Structure 1
Amino acid sequence: MTELIRKTPLYPVYAGYPGIRCIDFSGWELPVQFSGIQAEHDAVRRQAGLFDVSHMGEFMIIGQFAEDFLQKMTTNDVSRLADGQAQYTLMCYPDGGVVDDLLIYRLTADQYMLVVNASNIDKDFEWLREHLIGDVILDNISNKMALLSLQGPNATAVLASAGIGAAVLELAPFHFRNEVTIAGASTLVSRTGYTGEDGFEIYVAAERAGDVWHALMAAGEMHGLVPAGLGARDTLRFEARLPLYGQELSKTITPLEAGAGYFVKLDKEMFIGRDALLRQKNEGLRRKLVGIEMIDRGIPRSHYPIYMNDSLIGEVTSGTQSPTLKRNLGLALIDSDYAYPGTVLWVEIRFKRLRAEVVKTPFYKRHPKE
C-alpha cells in the first residue's frame, strides 16, 4: 500500500503561485521552486526570500534533568546556553556516525525545543526515547508547528515593515525571542538560517501559518521579498558549505570528517560517540570533506567517484554550478592525503574522468549590509 504524501500547513498558500513546481521530498509535497531556482537564489543573496520549511521536526524536552539528557545525547555543550539562546549540534551513534544534525533552543532551564531534519523525525524520536533519563519527558510537536524561514540582507527590513520591534530586529545570531506577535499570532523568532545569509526562522502554530506567511509577503513587497523553494535552499546552503544530512553527514560520516569539529566538544562529560570521535581525532582523520572546482568542463554531482591516478579516493557529496559564482563546484569526501588546496584530482562524470582542483571553502561568504 502506497503511503500518502504529507502536506505542510502552508500547502493551501501554494495555490496562489501559478508557476510553482512541487516534488516529493522525504514523503512531503514541497515546492522545489515558485518562479525559478536562479531567480529565487539571487533574491535571497540580494534582497530576501521566504521559505516554507514546516516539514522540519520539533521535539520538546522537559524536566529537571533535561540539560543532563541533552549533554549525553549531543556533541555540543548545552550547558553554555542561556534562556533565549539556540545551538547547532549533532547526535552520534557510539561509533561516531551521525544520527542527525539539529538545533537546540533553550526556553528555560528545564524546557528545550529540538529542531530535527524531516527525513529523520521518526528515527530521531525513537533514538531519544530509548535513552531517556530521570524525569525527562519527550514530546513530538511536529504536527502542531509550522516553520517559515525569512532569509537575505533585507530580512530585518521585512520584519520591521511587519511591525516587529527592536528586541527582535537586534537579536544576535543564534538568539531568539518567544511570544512575538505577527499577524495576531504568537511566534518564536530566532536569528538562524540555512542559506549563508542573515535572516530569521519563525515558528508558529500550524493553524496560523498562512496568516503569518501573507503578512510577511505583504510587508516584504517593498523590500524585494520573494517566495523561495527547496531548489534555492539547497544551492544557497551549498555555496555556504552548510552540510546536508544524507550527503555531507550520515551514519557512516562522522562530524570530524565532515569538518564540523567545532560543534564537537570532546572536553565535556561523556556523550554518545565521544570515545570513537576522540580516538578518531587522536589517530588522525583518514577522510576529509573538501571543496572542489572543476578544471575541465562538467558539473560534479552527488556520488560521482573521485580518483587520483587509478586509485579511487572518495566521492562527491554535493555539487552544482554555483548560481552566485557561475563556477562548477562540489563538496567531496576524499582521502586525507589529497585534501590540500591546489591538489588536482579526477571526477568521473558519465564514464569520463575530468580534472578538478581542491579549493578552500566556504565558496561564498556574505558581506554584512552597511
Structure 2
Amino acid sequence: MKNTALTEKHISLGAKMVPFAGYNMPVQYEGINAEHAVVRTGVGVFDVSHMGEFILKGENALDLIQRVTSNDAAKLYDGKVQYSCLPNENGGIVDDLLVYRLDEKSYMLVVNASNIEKDWNWIQKFNDKDVEMHNISDRTSLLAIQGPKAAEALQSLTEVDLASMEYYSFVKGAFAGIDNVIISATGYTGAGGFEIYFDNEHADVIWNAIFEAGAQFGIKPIGLGARDTLRLEMGFCLYGNDIDDTTSPIEAGLGWITKFTKKFTNSEALLAEKEAGMQRKLVGFEMIDRGIPRHDYEIVDAEGTVIGKVTSGTQSPSLQKAIGMGYVKKGLDKEGTEIFIHIRNARIKAKIVKFPFYK
C-alpha cells in the first residue's frame, strides 16, 4: 500500500487510517460529524495527495484534450480550471477530472486516485500527435483547505489575494516560503476554499505553516469520511459510486460538461442519447421514514417494483436527515415523487428532491 508524504503526520495526530485506492489514508480524526461541521462553519485541511496529476505539453496538447474530454477546453485561458470527464466508447465514463491550463501549450489533468493507470493508458491511446505526457502523481502532494474561513486562515502565507480569486481559477506562486506552488480556488465540499499542489519534499513545511497560520481560526485536519458527507450534501458525483464505466454523462446530470460543439470520444452516440431522451436519470432523494440508504440498495415504487438503485447515501450531518443519490427510470425522476428504498426487507419511504441537498 502506498503512503502520502504526510502519512506519518496523520498517524501521529491519531487519525484512523484505512486503505483507499491503494493508499493508506486518514478516514477520520475526532469523528466524521465534528469534522464535517468544522468545514461547513470554519476551516479544515484534507490530505488528498492520492489524487493523480498528469502534465500534457506541446503544440497538440489542447487537440488531444479536446478529443478525449467532454467539455470544451478551448474555452480555458491561463489560470483557469475546468471540470470535465473522459467518455469511453460504450456510452460510459472512464473518469471525471479537472483540466488546468498552465499556458497555451501546457495543461495539468487531475484524476481520481483509483483511476491513475487506467486514465493514463486511455489518454495515451489517443496520443497520436506526439504530445509530451508526464505522470507526476507520485511526486506531487495535494492539500484541500476548505471552509468559509479558508482565505483568512491562509492569507498570511502568500501575497496572492485569496479572497478575490474567482471560483475555478488558480495562480502559481510562492506559498509558505515555497516557490512554484499551485493555489487553486477549487474543492469538493461546497464550503469554499482552496486546493494547494506542491512537490512532496515540501509537505512537512507547508502542512506545519498552514496549521500555524490557521490556529487562530480553529483549523483542523479532516479525514475522507467527512469529505464524502460534504460532497454528498452538494450532490457531487463520486467516481465508482455515482458514475462509472456504465453510466453516461447525460443520465448522470453532467450534460453541462458535455459540449457537442466539438467531436470527442463517442460524442455522436451521446448526442443521440441526449436527443432521444435517456432511459434513466441520477436523482437526489431524502428519507421521509427512518433508515439510511446505502450504495446498491434497490429503489422501488409503492407496489414494490424495482425502479432503480442507490449509488450513494448517508445521514447528513448538516441537515440531520438521511439523504441519497441514485438512478431511477425515465418518468419517475420528478421532484416530489414518492419512492421507497429497500432496507433490510422493508420498504422505507423517501421523496425525490433537487440538488444540492444543502443550500
CA distance in 2, matches of 1:288, 1:210: 44
What does residue 231 of structure 2 align with?
237
- Report the CA distance between 1:357 and its aligned residue: 0.9
What does residue 127 of structure 1 align with?
122
CA distance in 2, matches of 1:200, 1:89: 19
Q: What does 1:18-167 correspond to in 2, within 5 Å? A: 18=14, 20-162=15-157, 164-167=158-161
- Report the CA distance between 1:166 and its aligned residue: 4.1
- Report the CA distance between 1:276 and its aligned residue: 1.5
- Report the CA distance between 1:275 and its aligned residue: 1.1
Q: What does 1:317-332 correspond to in 2, within 5 Å? A: 317-332=311-326
Whether contact under 8 Å (2:72, 2:262) holds in the other structure is no
Q: Deviations over 1:166-210 (max 9, x none)?
A: 444421111101122324353110000000111100000011111
What does residue 177 of structure 1 align with?
171
Out of 257, 271, 283, the residue aligned to residue 278 of structure 1 is 271
Q: Deviations over 1:284-314 (max 9, x none)?
A: 0111111111122101111100111232111
Q: Deviations over 1:141-187 (max 9, x none)?
A: 1011000000000000011133x224444211111011223243531
What does residue 298 of structure 1 align with?
291
Percent of counterpart pairs with the same letter? 44
CA distance in 2, matches of 1:36, 1:111: 40
What does residue 17 of structure 1 align with?
13
Aligned: 1:262 with 2:260:
no
CA distance in 1, matches of 2:216, 2:127: 48
Whether contact under 8 Å (2:11, 2:17) holds in the other structure is no
Residue correspondences, number: 358
Measured at CA, do residues 311 and 332 of structure 1 come closer, stay the same or move farther in structure 2, by a change above 3 Å? same
- Report the CA distance between 1:271 and its aligned residue: 0.2
SS of aligned partner of 1:331: strand
Whether contact under 8 Å (1:288, 1:336) holds in the other structure is yes
Corresponding letter in the other structure for 1:219: A
Out of 323, 329, 336, the residue aligned to residue 335 of structure 1 is 329
Moved over 6 A (4+): none
SS of aligned partner of 2:331: helix
CA distance in 1, matches of 2:188, 2:269: 28
- Report the CA distance between 1:353 and its aligned residue: 1.3
Whether contact under 8 Å (1:195, 1:237) holds in the other structure is yes
Q: Deviations over 1:200-245 (max 9, x none)?
A: 0000001111111110011111111110000000000000111000
Cα RMSD for the two superposed structures = 1.1
- TM-score, length of structure 1 as denominator length: 0.95
Whether contact under 8 Å (2:143, 2:197) holds in the other structure is yes
Aligned: 1:6 with 2:16:
no
SS of aligned partner of 1:272: coil
- Report the CA distance between 1:70 and its aligned residue: 0.4
Corresponding letter in the other structure for 1:359: V
SS of aligned partner of 1:275: helix
What does residue 226 of structure 1 align with?
220
SS of aligned partner of 1:337: coil
